[in-house]
Amino acid sequence: MARVGVAFGGRSVEHQVSIRSARTVIGALQAAGHEVVPLGIAQNGRWLDQAVSQRAVDGDIDSLGVVEEPLAPTLENLLDSSIEVLFPVVHGTWGEDGTLQGLCEMLDLPYVGAGVGASSLAMDKVLCKRQLESYGLPVVEYGSVSRSSFEADPERALKELPELPFPVFVKPSVGGSSVGVRKIAGPEELPAAIAFALGFDNTALVERGVSGRELECSVLGDQQLQASAVGEILPGNPFYDYEDKYLLDAAELKIPADLPSGLAERIRSLAVESFAAVGGHGMARVDFLLEGETGIFINEINTLPGFTSISMYPKLWEEAGLSLPELVDRLVEIAISVHRRRRSLDQGIKDWLAHLEG
Ligand SMILES: Nc1ncnc2c1ncn2[C@@H]1O[C@H](COP(=O)(O)OP(=O)(O)O)[C@@H](O)[C@H]1O
Ligand SMILES: [Mg+2]
């Protein structure tokens, strides 16, 4: 059993969801016999002490507001926590995108989930699509527009996009929770949608709109990745937008999705192949779009998926026979073995150099 720090909250729009996810993760870690240290991160990135963090875990507070202190000294709350493993439950930017993972690497601290490279690649939709394409994996036709080209000459930037039939979806390349995402019916709306998306990231992604079903599959593992059952999201709104995710409570999860077994198998193997293609280990929820009966596309890879008791990621594993405590325990175990392997690679380099120096 390990002393596990659970980091939650943070600077992204998913701050409050992260606190709800952390409550579930903490309960499950404790049920599995681990000792938990709650590590709340305020909305402006300050690390909070255990007493305040615990209040969020207990449900006394629902968000960790702005803390008027310089950031660096607050890192002591992490540095002095004597944890053996960090479980980041911080969705979105500064949590899911490789930055928190990089901090752990610098501190030589084992951490749950994908590493720095896989996290940042999965977080950037344009880079991720290019990577998946290079592996021959199916993604929806797309183009991208950089801020510099759009600001220099918007007409030319639009002309350089591939011809895509409408409707199209326009999104910030780096983002989440459907923030900045718009569905566009015709070309006249395109410039405003691109400008809107560029308000959230330096690159906008323009993608053919797929009319069909939204399917999700959970992946877990270290060097051998495994896929769960396949689930379906039934959005309450015309698409699964921010309001639908967090405000309306009208979307439904269907577990398992009603699919012919051959198609479900194909989705499960695509989920594993796509997470492997970005160099992932630990966990990911891979999201798909299904067009017609067989047109399957990988929409995105989430390396820190929602982890509340009703979230798709843990629910899909429950369906596969893996309880929440078993799931988080396996994730901690993977974190420790990844870290051990990383250390032995470092040692390999040092041994090689020592050998050269004779
Ligand atoms: N190409 C597309 N075709 C159809 N629907 C899409 C497409 N891209 C996005 N959507 C809709 O928008 C939602 C949010 O887009 P997504 O790429 O998943 O961004 P986020 O990372 O913000 O979740 C999806 O869940 C889906 O409902
Ligand atoms: Mg999504």
* Cα–Cα–Cα angle for 267, 306, 8, rounded to 5 degrees: 145
State the pLDDT at residue 50.
96
Which listed ligand is nearest to 233 at the C-alpha? Answer: 1
Say if residue 186's pLDDT is above 90: yes
- What angle in degrees, to the nearest 10, is found between the helix axes of 324-357 and 15-31? 90
State the pLDDT at residue 296.
98
Which listed ligand is nearest to 206 at the C-alpha? Answer: 1
State the pLDDT at residue 60.
95
The model's confidence at residue 141, banded by pLDDT at 50, 70 and 90, is: very high
Say if residue 136's pLDDT is above 90: yes
State the pLDDT at residue 271.
98
State the pLDDT at residue 13.
87
Say if residue 7's pLDDT is above 90: yes
Cβ(52)–Cβ(65) below 8 Å: no
Work out which ligand 1 atom sits closest to the CA atom of 177.
22
Name the residue with tokens 């992260």: 18
Say if residue 194's pLDDT is above 90: yes
Tens-digit pLDDT profile for residues 53-92: 999 999 999 999 999 999 999 999 999 999 999 999 999 8
What is the whole-number distance in angstroms between the Cα of residue 247 and the centre of ligand 2? 16
What is the whole-number distance in angstroms between the Cα of residue 216 and the centre of ligand 2? 10
Question: Ligand 1, atom 13: nearest CA belongs to which residue?
Answer: 240
Say if residue 222's pLDDT is above 90: yes
- What angle in degrees, to the nearest 10, is found between the helix axes of 50-58 and 15-31? 90
What is the whole-number distance in angstroms between the Cα of residue 209 and the centre of ligand 1? 9
What is the whole-number distance in angstroms between the Cα of residue 16 and the centre of ligand 2? 17
Does the C-beta of 178 come closer than 6 Å to ligand 1? yes
| Neighbour count for residue 343 (Cβ, 10 Å) | 12
User: Region 212-223: what's the mean pLDDT?
Assistant: 98
The model's confidence at residue 346, banded by pLDDT at 50, 70 and 90, is: confident
Q: Which of 333, 326, 128, 93 is nearest to 228 (CA)?
A: 326
Which listed ligand is nearest to 289 at the C-alpha? Answer: 1
What is the whole-number distance in angstroms between the Cα of residue 178 and the centre of ligand 2? 6
Does the C-beta of 209 come closer than 6 Å to ligand 1? yes
- Put simply, whether the predicted model's pTM sits higher than 0.75 gets the answer yes
Distance CA(137)–CA(161), nearest Å, equals: 21
What percent of the chain lies above the pLDDT cut of 90?
92
The model's confidence at residue 24, banded by pLDDT at 50, 70 and 90, is: very high
- Collapsing DSSP states into helix, strand and coil, what is residue 328? helix
Token representation of residue 107 = 């501190």
User: Region 223-245: what's the mean pLDDT?
Assistant: 94
What average pLDDT is seen over the chain? 96
User: Region 351-356: what's the mean pLDDT?
Assistant: 92
Does the C-beta of 34 come closer than 6 Å to ligand 1? no
What is the whole-number distance in angstroms between the Cα of residue 133 and the centre of ligand 1? 18
Work out which ligand 1 atom sits closest to the CA atom of 179.
22
If one residue of 168, 170, 178, 285 were mutated to test the ligand 1 pocket, choosing by the most ligand atoms within 8 A of its CB, it would be 178
State the pLDDT at residue 242.
87
User: Region 190-213: what's the mean pLDDT?
Assistant: 98
Across the chain, the runs of DSSP E, i.e. the strands, are: 3-9, 35-41, 85-89, 142-146, 168-172, 182-184, 203-208, 212-221, 225-234, 252-254, 282-291, 295-302
Work out which ligand 1 atom sits closest to the CA atom of 210.
3
Say if residue 176's pLDDT is above 90: no
What is the whole-number distance in angstroms between the Cα of residue 233 and the centre of ligand 1? 11
Q: What is the pairing mode between strands 168-172 and 182-184?
A: antiparallel
Beta-bridge mates of residue 124:
174
Does the C-beta of 289 come closer than 6 Å to ligand 1? yes
Say if residue 353's pLDDT is above 90: yes
Say if residue 142's pLDDT is above 90: yes
- Residues 6+ positions from 216 with CB-CB distance below 8 Å: 230, 231, 232, 233, 285, 286, 287, 288, 312, 316
Question: Ligand 1, atom 16: nearest CA belongs to which residue?
Answer: 178
What is the whole-number distance in angstroms between the Cα of residue 322 and the centre of ligand 2? 24
Work out which ligand 1 atom sits closest to the CA atom of 297.
1
Q: Which of 84, 26, 96 is nearest to 57 (CA)?
A: 26
Say if residue 248's pLDDT is above 90: no
Does the C-beta of 177 come closer than 6 Å to ligand 1? yes
Cβ(176)–Cβ(90) below 8 Å: no
State the pLDDT at residue 246.
83
Does the C-beta of 96 come closer than 6 Å to ligand 1? no
User: Region 282-299: what's the mean pLDDT?
Assistant: 97
User: Region 103-118: what's the mean pLDDT?
Assistant: 98
Q: Which residues of 278-292 are buried (b: 16+ CB within 10 A; e: fewer)?
A: bebbbbbbbbbbbee
State the pLDDT at residue 192.
98
Distance CA(299)–CA(129), nearest Å, equals: 9
Does the C-beta of 176 come closer than 6 Å to ligand 1? yes
